[in-house]
Each structure stands twice: as structure tokens, then as C-alpha cells.
Copies of this chain bind each other. A is one copy, B any other.
């Protein structure tokens, strides 16, 4: 028998407790022993919860209870759960967490603290999709060339609706908030930060690289306009918030931003609230993983999978995938080193000579135009939508700065990367 304490009995915590009780027979058979949710720890004992379990608000008593075999950390936040998990690991109590923010900031310290004590976190990335498992165990023979993920269901829901139903950003954000898909302050999701946390976890498994959210390029979807949608449709693209980890030489690019991506790519077919992660390994080629990235039961499915693994075999794989550290001399790439195709949206005065001058600014930076659409806006400006051949991010940035200074460019130009 494995007695577990659940720290945090919200949506996911409740699902963990309920599934362990509902699917007890098959979980016991698969794990080899009964897994008993023994106690739940909450802040507010008076709040009504749909679970059949003893509750307490005394977290220290639980951490000091020697009958508890495993801690499930679902508290939210960063520093508070970090302190709690440290205490558990110091007592060699195995820990399972779904806390991506905790891992985005403290995964290497936690790996050191855990040592031979199991510490698992499948649910922290892409909810119910067993992507940690796939990357850490299933693809372990490969050098990872790239990881491309759709790992924020809120953004994907909004972008899918914007493309399929021609609704604009503000309308769909309001709808997502009403449906409970987006928070009152949606910045953490729509700004790309949630997805960035998940990316950093996968990047450690793939490359053994340490980085914090502050170290990487993060752009959100707040500025996607209906013109961008039109351009995408015209040229067989879709628009996704993509998390990208990519090895280029000895540099690792880690970035989160909206992209134009061809509808023919498998990852482009991941729509609505669903998540998908495409991984390219040097030997296996592309594999892709698809499923629900959020939701109580889906996330709990991943939490319980970790608990069953610990029941089966104790410490399984090394926490971040490497039994020994490997001197690969990999460094984090600067965003200036990105080379790709770019999409630009410019609002300009509709008069002769303007296009020639814009083309000239671009060509001075070695940027050549591949495709272009021109549309009038309601103020009689011309909206220029164009994509470039492959060029350097540094050159694009400089060109954008220069374009912004021109008198006939009437608002800040927008740029979206195109992912080949």
C-alpha cells in the first residue's frame, strides 16, 4: 500500500483523489499495490469540495507524518511549494508535481535535492499527454534536433476561432474568459509565459540546458490582427503560438512566439484547446504527441501515471533525463541569431512611390520579398502584408526600426516569424 498526501485540493487535486478511488481496481493491478489518497491539505477548510477524503490545513503535520509514502504537490505558486517540496525530499519522501512554474525556476536544484528519491512531473507539461515520458525514455537514443509545441490551450482555442470563424482578438478573448478558458488577467496565457515554462522543462530533457523564463524570447498573441489571418488563408498557412527548442550548431534556440506555419505540417492540425508537441530526433525523425493540455481529469491522469511508476519501480529514470551530465558545450542562442522567413504588416499612406521606398529599406538590409498582399483599410491607408525569403532576425529588427521612422508609415509595423 502506498499512502499519499495531496497538497492542494482544487480542480486537479480533486480529480487525483476521485480517480484513485474510482479506478482503484485497475490502478492497483497496474501498480502492484493499492494507492491510497490518505489526506488532502487545503488553505480553507470551510470551502466545499467534491471529494471523499480527510482534509487538513496543517501542512507541517502532514510533512512530519511518517505514514505518508508520497507527496503530490498541486499548490500553485513557486517559492511556497519549493520550500514544501524541499522538506519532503530532505526526508526522502517521493514527490509528484504538476507545477510548471516551480520547475521552470528550480528544476536543477530539485534534481540535486532529490538524488535517489523519486521526483516526477509529467503533468507539468502538456497536461494529459505523456510527453516527458516520450522524450526522456522513448526518444533517449536520439540527439534532439527540434521540439515544436502547441502547449497553451487558451491561445490555441483563440487562434483557431480567429481563423475558422473570423472573430477578432478582443471578441474571442472575452468569449474564452466567459467559458473559463482564459483568466480575468489573461497575460500569463496570451503573453506566452505559460508555454515558456513548459518549453524550459522539455529543453532540459532534450539538451541538458539550464535557462530561466527571463533568458528566452517570449512574445504573445495579443497583436494578431484580422489582416494576418487573411494573409495566412491566402497562402495556406495557419497561425499558432509555438514553443520552439532548436539546435543550430552548438547553439540552442529557445523561444515562444506566434508563427505562420504551413497547413501541411502535422502540428498545424492541432486545433482548439488541444495541445501537440512535435519532436525531431536525429535517428527517429519526426514523432508527434497530441492530446488535452489542461483539465482536471486529464492532468490527474498524468499525475497518477507518475505515482504508479513510482509504485512499480521506485526511482525510475533520472529526473531530467541524464544519469551523468554531458559536456556538450551547448549555449543558449541570442534571438539575433535566428534566421527564418518573416511576415510583416505595414500600414502606409496610399500614394505613389511608397512601396518602392519600403522595398528599398528592406533590400538595403538584404531582405527580399517573397509574397505580398495589399489591402485598403477604412482610413484609406494601404495595408501591406508581405513575407520575406530567409533572412536574419537582426536585419529584420533594424529594417523595422527604420520603417517605423518613415513619415508615410502610419503605425508601428508588425512582424510574425514563419516556421518552415
Q: Which residues in A have some Cβ–Cβ distance to B below 8 Å?
A: 15, 19, 23, 25-33, 122, 128-130, 133-134, 137-143, 208, 266, 269, 281-292, 295, 297-298, 300-302, 304-305, 308-309, 312-313, 315-318, 321-326, 328
Contacts and interface: CB of A to CB of B under 8 A. Distances in A.
Given A130-B139, A133-B137, A313-B315, A297 B324 contact: no
Contact of A326 (B26, B128, B325): B26
A136 B26 CA distance: 12
B305 A139 contact: yes
Nearest to A300: B283
Contact of A143 (B26, B31, B266): B26
A324 B32 CA distance: 6
Given A298-B284, A304-B141, A323-B31, A290 B291 contact: no
Contact of A133 (B138, B290, B291): B138
Contacts of A308: 137, 140-141
B318 A312 contact: yes
Given A26-B326, A324-B32, A300 B141 contact: yes
A415 to B, nearest CB: 30
A284 B312 contact: no
A288 B286 contact: no
B282 A326 contact: no
B141 A134 contact: no
Nearest to A276: B288
Most B CB contacts (10 A, CB to CB) among A15, A139, A284, A302 go to A284
A285 B274 CA distance: 11
Given A31-B140, A141-B305, 16 more contacts: A15-B283, A19-B283, A25-B326, A26-B143, A29-B324, A31-B323, A32-B324, A134-B138, A138-B302, A139-B301, A141-B308, A266-B290, A283-B297, A284-B292, A288-B288, A313-B315
30 contacts: A15-B283, A19-B141, A19-B283, A23-B143, A26-B143, A26-B328, A27-B141, A29-B208, A29-B325, A30-B318, A30-B321, A32-B324, A33-B323, A130-B134, A130-B137, A133-B134, A137-B305, A140-B308, A140-B309, A266-B290, A269-B269, A285-B297, A285-B298, A286-B292, A287-B292, A288-B291, A289-B290, A312-B317, A312-B318, A316-B316
7 A-B pairs closest in CB distance? A130-B138, A32-B323, A287-B291, A141-B304, A29-B326, A284-B301, A128-B284
Contacts of A328: 26
Nearest to A267: B290
A138 B138 CA distance: 11
B141 A323 contact: no
Contacts of A295: 285
Nearest to A29: B326
A129 to B, nearest CB: 6
A187 to B, nearest CB: 28
Contacts of A322: 29-30
A197 B122 CA distance: 30
A133 B29 CA distance: 17
Contacts of A312: 316-318, 323
A328 B25 CA distance: 9
Contact of A298 (B33, B122, B283): B283
Nearest to A122: B138
A339 to B, nearest CB: 26
A269 B269 CA distance: 8
